[in-house]
Amino acid sequence: MSETRNRADVIAEADRTQLAASDPMASVFVSASAGSGKTKLLIDRLLRLMLPLEVEADDGSIMLAEGANPSRILCLTYTKAAAAEMANRLQSRLGEWVSLPDERLGRELEKLRVPNTDETRRAARALFLKVLDLPGGLRIETIHAFCQSLLRRFPLEASVDPHFTLMEDTDTTLALREAMEDELAKAPKIVAEVAGTIGIDRFFQRIRALNMEESRVRPLLDRWQILPDAVLSAYRGALKAGQEAASDLEGLICKPRKEAELRAGLQAALGVVTAAAKPTVEQMLLWLGTQMKDRSAPVWSKCLLTDKGTVRQMNRIISKKAQDAVPEIVPLLEEEGQRLLDLTESIKRAVLLSLNRALLSLAAPMLSSFREGKAARGLVDYNDLIQETRNLLEDPGAAWVLYKLDGGIDHLLLDEVQDNSGLQWEIAGALTSEFFSGEGAWEQGPRPRTVFAVGDYKQSIYGFQGADPEQFHSWRAEFARRVQNAGLPWRDPDLNVSFRSVTPVLSFVDAVFSQPNAAHGLLEQGQETLLPHVSARPGQGGRVELWPLVPVLEGEDDDEGLTPWQAPKTNTGQRSAPQRLAEAL
């Protein structure tokens, strides 16, 4: 009985939170853990938006306000599968309501906090046909599908080909790679500069990342093609880099400022240092006795700097007896160590500056060629959809586009917002810019216009497609500011009850992420610990197994250390990590 009661309590807690989050009178930003019922929450909110609702009239009496027009609701999600599932579940629910007896339909409405009357039941049954009659159905679509329809509706304002063809991701990757290979062939000297630093695949990832943020980096790339020296000077200032090349700075490592004093001091200390320190002192003397052209910079750096990049504590090498005999040797060595440390930092800055120069020299013509190739063939990729829509909605000259859109959207629902890019957030911000200002907030009568967003900061996995989870926090604060400044209801609840997993698994996860190092990067602003998970299936068994790592046998990976720029000299194995695991099992 206790387990049943506990489960009932957990379910009741989850229901209370979901009811608050689906309140059609409030704008809401929900942080929802995995398996906490995000899809159900979205469906409930859509239903409560479209159903009649009891509200307080101006004279203080209670009146029944009509539901929102389904054509004025826009729900944006991240994947086609999520959009299809949401649409199917909504249609299924509405279809069931058509044939439900009054008593059962009334209970369904009461669960949604909708009055159970003849009028509300008629409205609930009529929703099925009302949604079915909409051109294309209720607007539950991906952000890319919405952007595509918007650009086709306003091609002149967006400056795109009215008959553009959408490129699939595979075609975009192939076209971008072709542009990269063409430009690499034209610049062998610049390629030689970066070939020893980065492999071709990682370099292509950098080019893809720049393409994802093309609208933001385009001014930089355009300026680079016109005034490269000015851009380089700005980089030099940002990096605090000097005019010297990295190769010149590396040569200075082998030229100690006080070489004679160092040699004399080390020779005097050699006879009194400990046996453990003697090899180090001998190595330094041997290095100082080598001709300048034969000296090894890494050897001298290793003598004076630690692997962590700090100056060695010389009093641990030069014993107290040796310091008494040669008091100046420790300060001399520490001074030389600091010189090497400063040189090392300067070398890093010079190398970074050189790599940025090479990257800009290669990326600017690559992305320009890629962009021109698409335009010549009337092609648009998924990245273009987002960028051009953002530009369209923010262009002051196309303000009437926003006016027309604002007149057709009263409620915006956003799903999986942790995977939104900065541009996608700006689109959402532009679409709702008039929701909470002036008469726009209440132009639909007693029911205010609302924005609803749901996601989980911890589950952001689409960084390679431009997802910016940090925007999750800033846009939650921005929407809260807009709504509260308009004097409208605002909520930001957490859904932490899992309907998917069991207590042993969730407890293990919470224990792992109770460690500060594990939780780092997952905590939201102002959080000291992560919210613990609660299972909606208490008392059910579960187990977590930790499997040992599968070792790599010596000689198994003959191509270890081989970069993509180098041709293999022998046949190499192609056994992947999953293959090794399967064989071990």
- Per residue in 369-415, pLDDT (tens digit) is 999 999 899 999 998 999 899 888 887 776 778 777 766 889 999 99
Mean pLDDT across the stretch 559-572? 59
For residues 300 and 344, is the Cβ–Cβ distance under 8 A? Answer: no
With 70 as the cut, is the pLDDT of residue 560 above it? no
Q: How confident is the model at residue 2 (pLDDT cuts 50, 70, 90)?
A: very low
Total structural domains in the chain?
Answer: 5
Assess if residue 342 is contained within a domain. no
Assess if residue 322 is contained within a domain. yes
Cα 2 to chain centroid distance, Å, stands at 43
Rounded Cα distance, 106 and 100, in Å: 9
Q: How confident is the model at residue 126 (pLDDT cuts 50, 70, 90)?
A: very high
Mean pLDDT across the stretch 443-465? 80
546, 549, 545, 544: which is closest to 581 by C-alpha?
A: 549
Rounded Cα distance, 312 and 500, in Å: 53
pLDDT score for 36: 87
Assess if residue 25 is contained within a domain. yes
For residues 452 and 49, is the Cβ–Cβ distance under 8 A? Answer: no
208 and 305 share a domain? no
Assess if residue 339 is contained within a domain. no
Average pLDDT of the chain, as a whole number: 86
Q: Sign of torsion, CA 399 402 407 410? A: negative
Q: How confident is the model at residue 538 (pLDDT cuts 50, 70, 90)?
A: confident
448 and 539 share a domain? no
With 80 as the cut, is the pLDDT of residue 525 above it? no
173 and 235 share a domain? yes
**Does 4 or 6 have the greater pLDDT score?**
6
Task: Write the pLDDT tens digit of every residue in 38-96.
Answer: 889 999 999 999 999 888 777 777 888 888 999 999 999 988 898 999 999 999 999 99
Rounded Cα distance, 27 and 490, in Å: 5
Assess if residue 162 is contained within a domain. no
Assess if residue 161 is contained within a domain. no
For residues 350 and 242, is the Cβ–Cβ distance under 8 A? Answer: yes
**Percent helix, strand, coil in the chain (nearest 5)?**
60, 10, 35
Matching residue, tokens 């650009």: 151
Q: How confident is the model at residue 1 (pLDDT cuts 50, 70, 90)?
A: very low
Mean pLDDT across the stretch 163-189? 92
390 and 365 share a domain? no
Crossing angle of helices 118-132 and 80-99, in 10° steps, is 140
Q: How confident is the model at residue 280 (pLDDT cuts 50, 70, 90)?
A: confident
With 70 as the cut, is the pLDDT of residue 572 above it? no
117 and 207 share a domain? no
59 and 129 share a domain? yes
225 and 369 share a domain? yes
pLDDT score for 267: 87
With 80 as the cut, is the pLDDT of residue 533 above it? yes
pLDDT score for 556: 57
225 and 86 share a domain? no
302 and 269 share a domain? yes
413 sits in which H/E element:
strand 411-415
274 and 219 share a domain? no
16 and 65 share a domain? yes
For residues 297 and 253, is the Cβ–Cβ distance under 8 A? Answer: yes
When mean pLDDT is compared over 125-134, 236-245, 436-445, 527-536, the highest value belongs to 125-134
pLDDT score for 414: 94
Matching residue, tokens 């469906």: 43
What 3-state class would DSSP assign to 115? coil
With 70 as the cut, is the pLDDT of residue 325 above it? yes
With 70 as the cut, is the pLDDT of residue 32 above it? yes
Cα distance between the two ends of the chain = 42
Q: How many CA atoms lie within 13 A of 506 on its CB side?
A: 24
265, 226, 254: which is closest to 339 by C-alpha?
A: 254
182 and 129 share a domain? no
Task: Write the pLDDT tens digit of every residue in 190-245.
Answer: 888 888 788 888 899 989 888 888 878 888 988 998 999 999 899 888 888 888 88
Crossing angle of helices 382-394 and 214-226, in 10° steps, is 90
Assess if residue 8 is contained within a domain. yes
Q: Which domain holds residue 80?
A: 2-156+384-500
Assess if residue 55 is contained within a domain. yes
